[in-house]
Every structure is written in C-alpha cells, then in structure tokens.
Chains A and B, each alone.
Chain A
Amino acid sequence: MSDSPILFVRTIAKRFGGTVVLEDMNLTVERGSIHALVGESGAGKSTLTKVLAGIVRPDSGVIEFDGKTVTIDSPNAARKLGIGMVLQQPVLFAERSVLANLFVNREPVHNGLISRREMEARSRDLLRQLGLDVDVHTPLRDLGPGERQLVAIARALLENPRLLILDDPNSALDGRQSERLFAALRGLKAKGMSMLYASNRLDEALGIADQMTVMRNGRDVLSKARQDLTTSEEAMIGQLRQSLFPLPLRALPTLAGTLRPQIAVEGLSGGILSGVSFTARAGEILGLAGSGAPDLLALLFGLRKPRQGKVRFSDGDGLPGTQTEAARRNICMISGDRGNGLMADKSIAFNMANVVVGARNWGSLWYSPKAALRRATRQIEALRIRSTPEMPAGALSAGGQQKVVIAKWLEIGPQVMLLDEPARGIDIGSKQEIYALIRQMAASGCIVLLHSRELSELTGLCDRILAFHQGRLAGEIAGDDMDVGKVLKLIISGKPADERHQSSRESAA
C-alpha cells in the first residue's frame, strides 16, 4: 500500500448560527499512527470529530480518506468508509445489557434469530483486551462511567474500523483503566489501525501520540510529530492555557483578624458527601475538585437535603431549605450543564428576569416587559453579549447563553456564588470574560465556590482548592502548591502526593 495519509482534512469550516466553531481547520493523519488533537474545550475538537463521523456536516472544506475525496453525510457513510467513532458522551442504551449495546443494529443473526452465543464469542477477547471484566448480561446502567466508556470503545472496535476516532475517551476513566486503554490502543496501532485522539489534556496526548495537532478557536495552530516537538514548543502549548486566566485582583486585603463574611461548613453529609468541614471566606475563590463537589453545591443551594452537619452562611442562617429560599438570600447557582440555566425559546429579557421577578416574592406583583428590556439592555452592555434583548436566548452562542445565565444573577447582587463548571463547552473568548467576571465578583466581596472537572481551570483561577475523594474531603491545596498533578493525585487516591500536605489536610478536616 501507499504511504499516503489515511485522512487528509483541508480548510474545513463550520458555524452554528452566529458562532464559528471551525474555521480553516487542516489535519493529516498518517497510516498506522496515533494522532492527538489537543485544545481547550470549545476549541472545536468535538465538532471536527463529529464532522468526520458524519454527525455534523461541514459548511465547506475537503475531506480525503484513503486518497479519495469523500463526502461523509451520515454516520452510516462514515461506517462504510471504515471510520469508527467513540463520542465524548457515548450514546448507549442504559436499560439494555452490555452485549446488546455492543451489537446495536449489527446483531449476528442465525435462522432469523439473534445469536447471543455468537455475540459473546465475538466480544470476549476484545473485552478482555480492554480489561473490561463485567458480566456481559448486566444492564449498562449498573456499570460505572469508566466501564461504560470502555463498552463504547469496544462497540466501535467491533466494526474493525480503519480509522478510529476517540473524542476525549479518558475523561470518565480512572488511572488504571486509562492505562489499560492506552495499552489496548498501542496494541491496535501495532496491528496497523490509525487513530485520531482528541483530548484537552496535553500530558495525556503527549503520552500516547505519534503526531499531534493543537487546535485553537477552530483552527490548527501547530501540527508536528511527537519527537520533533521541542521543549519550547511544549512550553508554548502549556502556556496557551495559562493566558486564559486573569490575574488575581486583590481588592480586599487578606488581613488576619478582620471580620469577613464567610460560610462555615461542619461535618456536612448528603448525597455521596460525608463529613465535610471547611470555611469559605468572602473575597476568595474556593475551588472544589473531585466526586462529591457537585453534591456539595446542590446542598448549599437547597436542591438536596443534608443527612447531617451544620452550615452557617454569611447572613447567619443555615442551609436554605429550597432553591427559592437560596435565591431570596442572594445565594446563586450557575451550572454549566446545558439546559440547567436557560429558557431557550424565551427572549433574553425574559431570561434576565428569572431571579428578580421569578424567584423573589417582594417588589411589584406585575411583570413589566419594559423593565425587563431595560434590565437586559444594561446587562447586555455590561457583559458584552452580542445580541438584542428581544432575541430568543437560544439563538446565542454557547458563551453568550452562559453570560445570560450569569447576568440574571448579577441583577440581585449575589452574596454567595456557587459555580458548577460555569465555563463548560464555550469558546475561549467567552471563557476569559467569564473568568474575569468571577474574579471581579470575588474581589467585590462575594463568596465564590467553583467546581470544575477541568483541573487546570481550578488551578488557574482559584485561591484554594478542596479536593474530594469519594465524597470525603481528601485535602486542601493553596498557593504555590497548586498544580493539576497534585489535585489529580488527591481526588484519585484520596492521599496527598507527599507528607507535606498531610498537615494541611488535617487542619482542614
């Protein structure tokens, strides 16, 4: 066979509404190699992989697969070409068995009946290779997220694709599982399979890739073989993310002894959270990492009921009983989950009235569209949202939508901000603006709790980070100790990287 690349992507562009997601994107994947595609979330990685899998149609550009120009207009077309795909959030059938999920729409048939025996035989070796040791007849919902991810990968591999595309497959896996996955991927490479591996973790990509392409704002900014990468280039890639975060503003002096409003949490349990104690002070951004952090935010916002423990907010009261009470006490919750914050079919003005009109029970009993428009116009200007108040909020870009969600809370002057991945899946520009806004809120005396799965976001933005392991507080990292590796170590193993942190953990507990 020829040595020509298996995949050649030239000047692909794609926009959704007013948002440009891909712009002049180029990519070349060599045969029998692992090509890493790295970039911040929102850079366009997922969209590019979806274009290649036939889920999203590009507006323009050329795709050559195996030397021929192809149009991939459906997932079936991609499958026929031999492109296998593992999505970031795999679409699986939770109620059905592992086996049924592996052979969706391709069940081997004997005499008109689905042959379970053949399915078992065909999947056994593959599952062992991936290190997935589960009963193939258990329904998928009983599996952990990591195991489910492996099922999705196995499903793609069963088709014997010539090019396997993995979109951040590692995010749900724990350390051992991801090592297994990497070993399996290397094995597949040895057999001649080509792979495109999209990830937002640079170290991970450097660990497995032969070539890598760095993506930013829908373009390829750097494309090189792994061994040609100079240290300065590695550093540059690392720096791309550093510039995202604004420098801390120090409006409030961190004087010991001054009384600052704070949240004191003592032995709080609820959800998977158990026995968590800490304090969060006004003027700082407290990062939360690991499993249990979303539950903590839900508890503090009154979405969940605590099993035990005491909490004292800055206004002197305990946990809010309902989310309405929380909103009325100026405790705000901003979630990056799509759909948690936005009424997409309603106008921006309507959305901005969510808290002021919707949650509060004081003030006028009337809803004035004029006042809503004024409010929206003011916030649109302040947050630089590129639209007009009458437009439906759903027509905004993801970043704009998230700004609307934040703006509606700014209207009430929040005392406590609970942020659950507030910048997930949005473009870098909006990210920067939102980070700057969070900084500003903290500096103006707000208590900010920030949870994120993207640890670099925490280390870049927070003053302190609390790491949770299986619902327990595993440790606290502050100051110069903050780096992704240390936080990761804490949330995966529950133990600090070295003895020095042991003391800080005890003082926190």
Chain B
Amino acid sequence: MTKTDTAPPLAGSANHQPRRRIRLPAETGAVVALAVLVAVLGWLSPSFLEPANLLSVLSQAALPGLLAIGMVFVLATREIDVSAGAVFHLAATFTALLMVAGMDPWLAALAGVTAGAGLGLINGLLVIALRLPALLVTLGTWWMIQGLSLVAGKGQTFAPTGAGSGFFTTLSGKAFTVVPAAGIVFVVLTMAMHVVLHRTRFGYRVQAVGSNPLAATYAGIPTGKVKVLTLVLMGAVAGLAGVIHLGSQGAIAPGDGGTFALLAIAAAIIGGTSLSGGSGSVIGAAIGMLVLQAIQSAMTLHGVDAIWTAFTTGALVVLALAIDRLIRLWRDWRAGHGDPLG
C-alpha cells in the first residue's frame, strides 16, 4: 500500500487521444465561410463571380488587409492596436507632403513606411515605459496621430502633384492588365508574414508571449522587446498601406482609413486569431478580410444601401466570436479536463 507506483490505471488513455483527434488548422472556419459565401453570392447573382468583380473585392480587401496582417501579430501577443487606422492616414499624408516638397516619390514612399514604423515604435515604447496595455496607449495615440494628420493635411483632401511619375502608375496599375498592384502586395505579404509567424524565432516569441506572458518571462524570452517589435511591424504595414493608398488613389482624404483598425481586428477574429493571445493566423486574417469585403461588394450588387455595411461587419464579428466560443466549449467538453487539483 505504501508502494509509490503512481501510474494511474487510466493514464494510458492519454496516449490514445491524440491519434483519434484530427486537428483542423485555425484557418478552416474562415476558408469554409469564404467558400460558402462566394458560392451563395454567385448563385444569387452570377455577376458577382465575374473576374473583374472578384478582383475588385481583392483590391478593396488589400489595404485594410495589410493592417490585418500586422494586427494578427499584435493580437497574438495579447495586445491590441487601435491607432493603426490613424497611422495609415498620417503615413499617407506625410508621404504626400514630402512629394509636394519635391522628394522623389519612391523615396517619399520609403519615408512614409518608416514613419509608420516610427509611430509603432512610439506606441511600443509607451507600452513598455508606462506598463500599460497597448489598448489604452494606442487609444491615446490614435487621437494624437489623427489630429496630427488633420493638421498636416489642413483637413482637406490632399493630392500631391506629379501624378505622372512611375510611383503612381505602378501602384494604380494592374499586372497582366487585371490584377491590381495592391492585391499582389497583399497576397505576397500575407504568405511571407504567415511564414514569419509560424516558422521564425520572432514569430515563435510572439506566440509564446501571447500564450502566457508570465511563463515567457520565466523562460527568459525578452517579452518587452517582442511587444515593441510587433507594434513596430503593425506601424510599418499600416504605413505601407497608407503609401499604397496614396499611390493608387493619387490623393488622401480626411476620412480615409478611419475604420481600418477595427476592420483589421474584425478580419483577424474571423480568421481564427484569438483575442486572448497565443495564436493567430495571417492567412486566416486575410481570408477574413476577403469575407468582409465580399459581403460589402455583394450588398452593393444587390442594391442594399451602403449604410448597412457597418452593421453587417459588426454582426459578422459577433457571429465569428460566438462560433469560436462554441467550438472551444465543445472541445473542452470532449477533452473533459477540468482544473486539476485546483
């Protein structure tokens, strides 16, 4: 009786479980949603399935989609950045100002991306210095950055001269005469950042910090640095999106990008990124953004008033959260594990 063999008679069952369980990738939900959506929308109105329309969905998704890529990294560290839309706007305005000042458009574009990264760095340093959640810090900087870009753009639509230069023709142009340049950047960056999140040391650290910040600290992972870097990345992609917007539209208007940050968060959630951190899917977020834009496009096709867009976006987010929660509950119920020993 005092023998200390502790192999509980049921312990062996733990070894059978993994073989039975099929693990679906996190993107499954978003992919299924997109496929069903495209099928239904195509069935309702065949004109939706025309390549031109599908590509326009892609180009609409591209800019907020770039922000969603960065947002996945931020969410995966258990933080959130609401200032990204404002960074997008300020980077575009800044680039436009530099072009007006006579800088080479490509150099100005590079400066715009760098400015975005710089704003992200400020966000990150504030998060570290004040030891506050990024949500609070970026809530403040969001207003500041938005205010700055209004001041810089004098509250008016700002169109830099020299629209004939290579910068504008490239970004507003289309590859193979059909695929929009912004869409290409979006797709390529999605693939690249997906690999970064899942296959690099930086991506590993991002997931580790978000999964359990305390455990990450105790394992010697530089948690502060990782958080700063994700916010810099977020700023940089927001800046890139701003620059591309400027290049393809030729102008930046005061309201542009105002909803992008929340749209990016919504897309990430639909794509299977959890708000409680630890995991995320860049491809999922990109698909999530396509879902959002496809619905908007379909609503326009069917003559639904555009003012319903905000409502549907919100409803989709709630739906995605509810489904995610249900799946999780179901999994917990199946695994049947409670809190061992309390």
Contacts and interface: CB of A to CB of B under 8 A. Distances in A.
Interface of A: 15-21, 23, 42, 46-47, 50, 55-56, 216-217, 219, 221, 240, 243, 303, 322-324, 326-328, 333, 335, 339-346, 350, 353-355, 357-359, 364-369, 386-388, 390-391, 394-395, 397-399, 408, 425, 427-430, 432
A19 B8 contact: yes
B303 interface: no
A279 B23 CA distance: 50
A432 B15 CA distance: 22
B132 interface: no
Contact of A367 (B4, B5, B199): B199
A15 B338 CA distance: 9
Given A341-B218, A342-B212, A365-B201, A429 B341 contact: no
Interface residues of B, number: 48
Interface string B1-29: 11011111111111101100001000000
Contacts of B214: 339-340
A345 B4 contact: no
A15 B6 contact: no
A415 to B, nearest CB: 14
B194 interface: no
Contacts of B14: 17-18, 386-387, 391, 395
Interface of B: 1-2, 4-15, 17-18, 23, 198-205, 207-208, 211-212, 214-222, 278-279, 335-342
Q: Which of B2, B6, B17, B219 has the most CB of A within 10 A?
A: B219
Contacts, number: 168
Contacts of A221: 1-2
B220 A353 contact: no
Contact of A327 (B215, B220, B278): B220
Contacts of A430: 6
B211 A427 contact: no
A324 B221 contact: yes
Nearest to B1: A221
B48 to A, nearest CB: 38
14 contacts: A17-B336, A18-B14, A20-B10, A50-B342, A217-B6, A221-B2, A345-B279, A346-B207, A354-B215, A358-B221, A366-B199, A369-B198, A391-B18, A394-B337
A324 B222 contact: yes
A17 B15 CA distance: 12
A169 B204 CA distance: 42
B11 A16 contact: no
Nearest to B2: A240
Contacts of A387: 14-15, 18
Contacts of A42: 341
A359 B220 contact: yes
Q: Which of A217, A350, A354, A359 has the most CB of B within 10 A?
A: A354
B335 A47 contact: no
A36 B80 CA distance: 50
Contact of B204 (A323, A353, A399): A353
A430 B341 CA distance: 14
A56 B220 contact: no
A28 B200 CA distance: 58
Contact of A358 (B12, B199, B219, B336): B219
A47 B338 CA distance: 12
Given A346-B207, A353-B204, A326 B341 contact: no
Nearest to A331: B220
A428 B7 CA distance: 10
The 3 closest A-B pairs by CB, nearest first: A429-B6, A327-B220, A359-B220
A390 B18 CA distance: 8
Nearest to B211: A343
A16 B340 contact: yes
Contact of B212 (A219, A243, A328, A339): A339
A344 B208 contact: no
B195 to A, nearest CB: 9
A395 B338 CA distance: 9
A82 B2 CA distance: 35
Contacts of A390: 18, 23
Q: Which of A344, A357, A368 has the most CB of B within 10 A?
A: A357
